Each structure stands twice: as C-alpha cells, then as structure tokens.
Amino acid sequence: MTTRPVVVAVAITGSVPRKKDNPNLPVLPAEQIASTRAAFAAGASLVHIHVRHDDETPSSDPERFAQVQAGIRQACPGMIVQFSTGGRGRDPAARGLSLVHRPDMASLSTGSVNFPTIVYENPTSLVNDLAARMQEHRIAPEIEIFDLSHIHAARRLIEEGLIGPRPHIQFVMGVRNAMPADEVLLDILLAETRRVIPGATWTAAGIGRDQMRVMDWALARGADAVRTGLEDNIRIHKDRLASGNAELVALAVELIGRHGRRPATPAEARAALNLAAV
C-alpha cells in the first residue's frame, strides 16, 4: 500500500513574535528566504508568508512580498508560496495589495473573532473583496477558521461563486480569547466542514504549546496537511527556544512518520491541494 503524503506548511514569521522573543525569527527578506530554504530542506512543501518593516512591525508592502516570493521560488523549486492577508497591525485597505504578485495561495479569514488584545475584524465586504481579488489572479485561498460560523461563511462564498467548491481549510486552535485547543472541538469543526463543504481539504494549526498536540490530532484524523513554524510557536519546550523554522519542521516530519505517513514532495503537495504543477 502506498504511504499517503502530508503537506507540511511552515509559517515562518507571522505578525506577532519579535527577535526579543526568539533571536532566530526571520524578519528581513533575506532572513525569510534563508529560513524557508532550510525548512524546505527539512521537509516543508508550503510556506506561509507575512512581511515586516525593518523595525519588525507588520507590513503590507507588496514589494517586500514580491522580494520574498522571488527568493523562495529560486531557492525552493516547486514550493507552494502562500501570502497572508491577515489583519493584525495592517490597514484593511492594504491587506490585499500583494495579491497582484500572484502567489500560489493566500490566506482568507471568513469572519471576525476576539484575539488576545484586539478584535480581528473581517467584515463581509472585506472578505468578499479579498476573495474576488484571489479569483481574479487565480490564487487558491486557504480558508482560516477561527469559529464554527466561519465554515458557513466559506460555504456562502462558494454559493456566490467567489471561491471554488474544493477550498483548503485550516482550523486555528489555541489563540487566547478565540477557539481553544480542544480535541472535541476539532471533531465538531471537521464534521461540520465535511457536511457543508464536502470537497474541502483540511489542516489544523495549534498555537504555542498546543502546536504539536493539534498536529497529532489532525494526523490521527487523516489531515491533508499540518502546519508548524515560528509564527505559531517559538519554542521546542518551555525551557528552550527553537533554533529556527527548520527544527520545527523536523519535529513535524518525525510526528508524521509516527502516524505511518511521510512529508509530501512539492509536486505531491500541489496535487493534494488542487494547485497547478510547475
């Protein structure tokens, strides 16, 4: 029997951690490219990208996104490039500006939710606009699910023709004030997704100390992908910081092996997520 591959997504930077939290966090474009190259070598086939200003604050600069994308495409042949359209620290009007550079994928949150210190606002008008831009540029969305209602919002996008019937969905668990990392909740979310969006592929992301635990739950349920990286978790355990994204990817690959599976090649990852080959 052929071993079923798993897409390993690495979220390299995010918008929250700083170098004071972990000096190995890649912030400048050259650092992000080098960190992605190491993660790719360790088994990652998809990279999720945020960019920062030089002072480490979140940026929506399309040219920074383009610079990182170009470097990754040269250094990591075939790797899936996914831009973030997330909103922490970014002007809503600027969140979709980078999409003109046509990454393979982009994140799309379909509703608002409480975060630790803010409300992560995703009004319907903004969600529809981002989905339309992705459709215009032939970018596959990764639907970010922070609440049960967000699944039904994604279904409405399908019904309105703004996204296709087989989106890639990510359940985000463990953000304080949002959806906790609870195995029962994952089962509820997965069952509801299969009921209303039966063609979806899926993954789940655990934040901080929940990263490996959520990954384990997802693999036990046959997830198409897993997610790791310094955006979500800067530590190996409470007493040691991660040396970089590659170390977190290596741990994910080890866990995948314990579930009798293996990391997908870039070509396999593209096939699994219904993306064009390169």
For every residue of 193-248, DSSP letters joined together read HHHH-TT-EEEEEE-GGGHHHHHHHHHHTT-SEEEESTTT--EEETTEE-S-HHHH
pLDDT tens by residue, 156-167: 999 999 999 999
pLDDT tens by residue, 192-225: 999 999 999 999 999 999 999 999 999 999 999 9
DSSP assigned state of 79: P
What average pLDDT does this structure show over 81-87? 94
Neighbours of 160 (CB within 10 A): 11
pLDDT at position 16: 96
pLDDT at position 269: 98
> What's the mean pLDDT when you consider all of the chain?
97
pLDDT tens by residue, 17-39: 999 999 999 999 999 999 999 99
Confidence of residue 89 (pLDDT cuts 50, 70, 90): confident
Is the Cβ–Cβ distance between 98 and 66 less than 8 Å? Answer: yes
pTM value is: 0.97
Tell me how far apart the alpha carbons of residues 197 and 267 are, in angstroms, rounded to a whole number.
Answer: 25
Confidence of residue 99 (pLDDT cuts 50, 70, 90): very high
pLDDT at position 1: 55
